[in-house]
């Protein structure tokens, strides 16, 4: 009997730890539709920079442009897909941007225009850039982090948030 109580106490302690962990993970998730200065869930509020990535005139369909966001150590890709997609910006609603670090183990991925996916050379995960970075094959356990974009009246494209945790980070915005 005494033994069972100890086991229960241990389990409660474990569950409490799990909840704290889950809350931390939720806090790391950000919502691209929220204002730039107030994104975040739960305890942590992330303040994302607004970084100019390019101008819409710089982009051609299916010619990826290397970018970095929210800082120089977070490589990404800016893409004009040629077809309107959910979350796409610009006059055609077809411009999107993603981290290129694979969520599985951080290999740098490349774009395959044939099926509009980002492909990992490590263990071959693939992510659909027309569907918000949804994983379509492979080892990764999360979709690809997508950068929230805004186009201003000059056609400049600004990144202002990230919708999932970038590989290797405890927080997308580093102190
Ligand atoms: S690092 Fe990309 S699938 Fe493993």
Strand order in the sheet with 65-68: 65-68, 75-80, 95-99
Q: How far is the CA of 107 from the centre of ligand 1 (A)?
A: 6
* pLDDT attached to residue 44: 52
The confidence score (pLDDT) of residue 4 equals 47
Instruction: Report long-range pairs for 81-85 (Cβ below 8 Å, ≥24 apart).
Output: 81/116, 81/129, 81/130, 83/130, 85/129, 85/130, 85/131
User: How many angstroms separate the CA atoms of 70 and 18, rounded?
Assistant: 29
Distances (CA, A) of 1 to 4, 7, 95, 154: 5, 10, 63, 73
Q: For ligand 1, what atom is nearest to the CA of residue 106?
A: 1
Within the chain, how many helices (H) and strands (E) appear? Answer: 1, 10
- Residues of the chain under the 70 pLDDT cut: 1-45
Q: Which atom of ligand 1 is nearest to the CA of 123?
A: 3
pLDDT digits (tens, 9 = 90+) for 139-162: 889 999 999 999 999 999 999 999
pLDDT at site 46: 79
The residue nearest atom 1 of ligand 1, judged by CA position, is 105
Catalogue the active-site residues: 104, 123
């Amino acid at each position: 009997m005494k033994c069972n109580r100890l086991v229960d106490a241990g389990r409660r302690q474990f569950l409490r730890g799990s909840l704290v962990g889950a809350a931390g993970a939720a806090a790391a998730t950000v919502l691209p539709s929220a204002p730039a200065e107030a994104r975040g869930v739960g305890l942590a509020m992330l303040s994302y920079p607004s970084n100019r990535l390019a101008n819409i005139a710089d982009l051609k369909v299916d010619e990826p442009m290397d970018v970095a966001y929210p800082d120089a150590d977070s490589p990404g890709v800016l893409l004009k897909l040629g077809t309107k997609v959910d979350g796409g910006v610009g006059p055609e609603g077809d411009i999107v941007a993603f981290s290129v670090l694979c969520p599985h183990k951080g290999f740098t991925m490349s774009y395959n225009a044939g099926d509009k996916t980002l492909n990992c050379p490590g263990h071959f995960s693939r992510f659909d850039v027309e569907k918000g970075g949804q994983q379509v094959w492979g080892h990764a356990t999360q979709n690809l982090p997508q950068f929230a974009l805004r186009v201003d009246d000059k056609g400049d494209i600004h990144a202002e948030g990230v919708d999932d945790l970038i590989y290797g980070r405890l927080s997308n915005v580093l102190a």
